[in-house]
Structure 1
Amino acid sequence: MGILGPVEILRPNGVKVGLQLQCRKVLALLVVAAGRPVSTGQLVRSIWGDSRPSHAPQMVRSHIRVLRGALRHETERTLPTSAAGYRIAPDRCAVDAYRFRELLDEARRRWPRDPAGAARTAHAALDLWRGADAMPDVVEVHSLRAEAAYLEELRFQAEETLVLASLESGQTEFALPRARRLAELHPNRERFWLQLMVAEALSGRLVEATSITFRQARHHLVKETGLHAPGLERLQRELLRGGRSTEQLLNLITQSPRSVA
């Protein structure tokens, strides 16, 4: 099952199961509940709100039957029912979002003790994503929109971990284009600019880091948002001063906020 992209079920042979939109909403709500039972009434309220049709409970039960048919022999293990409602058993099914969080936690534990291992693990976590957004097909459901935003924030953190761990392990030429792309895509996130400046400096592009990139970052972080962005100015001073180790430069990044807007 996948929610790191459009909501989907894949059979063991890799074939994607076709599901109607409302059925995908039911699946996503169960996955997001992460093992907690969700009643028919909760599903109805989440999907239809105040405009729910009179036969909405029957529609939910129909969608559950479809999901169980899609899961086939895994039904009793992955989609059990109790008096409290339906639930996905997290320890008995493969869900990309669950695995993503596990890998991200592992990458955080490994860095900075094992930066190369942390980079590999963060890369594996990011490879689970099938698009730029989580659940773009069902985010009209308020609770799913909030969960999608949370997952996308975790994705930013995984990207950050990958770049930091790559720089720490000496993979500067791998980290540099990734850091540049992240800064371009998310110009209001200070840490991405700091990572780019450090990556450029470690690649022998000190002038570019402390002048061109610094001015671009200051334009987005200070002029457009009206904030001070002290981490940006502090890093520029340290790069111009020289003598700082890679570890010390990376510590300056992790001491700065992840986002300013």
Structure 2
Amino acid sequence: MSERAIVITGGSDGIGAEAARQLRRSQPSIRLILVGRSPQKTAAVAREVGADHFLADYTRLDEVRRVAADIRSVADRIDVLANNAGGVFGERTVTVDGNEKTLQVNLLAPFLLTHLLLDPLRAGEGGVINTSSASARIVGRVDIDDLNHERTYAPMRAYGDAKLANILFALGLDRHYRDQGINAAAFDPGNVRTNFGAENNGFLTRLLYRTPVSKLALIAPEKGGANLAFFLTGKPGVDWQAGRFYSQTRLASRRQTNKQAFDEALVEEFWRRVHSLLGITQN
């Protein structure tokens, strides 16, 4: 039997790097493939954990297409894809692809990457884990007619919307690809003490992530990494359930979940709109 292969995006720092370290310790034979934006950081973590690594800037969808081809060139099967890369940004910025930056980095790029890796996912265990956030419940509200925030924009609102969209993305994957062996879920790793928000100078972001308050209000990167590693080492249908949203490693309650995640018509329309934005064929 081939060794298990796990792809972690956002693998150069934060919970992605921590999860990779923990996976290497717990499953020495596992094949790790890391995707990051920083050449130096990504290479350093890859050397540390003995992983293949590739670079991609999610603000450019052509780089997502290239990194998908790179991954396919070294792995004919993928057991779990961790869509973990993301971030919150400052002023509204439009990418070269014509999309609002927060939406593209947190949703459109991982959505496209997953689409391009469906064949190796089908050949493996087919796990897809989307990193969401408590922001999805607190400030998230997907406006299906304004996904790119052309009418209204605020950094944390755009981030919360994108993290809610990650949940809808997982639900759509489950609905459309479960019978093809794809097992998708989303999870909130907890409020983790990382470099999150480095490009956002909002008062609350600075207070929580760049002052001593972070040690009191946020969990350690090792804990956030362990929460991600739980899904990467576990078996869908046994350790975690496809088509569900988790708070850390426990099924999220209805109170912990944005009510839009229960709107099946919205999930379906969201699925259609994102395919249209990316110009890909809908399953």
Q: Under a length normalisation based on structure 2, what TM-score does the superposition of the two structures give?
A: 0.27
Higher relative contact order (CA 8 A, sep 6+): 2
Structure having the larger proportion of residues in strand = 2
Greater helix fraction, Structure 1 or Structure 2: 1
Structure number, greater radius of gyration: 1
- TM-score scaled to structure 1, two decimals? 0.29
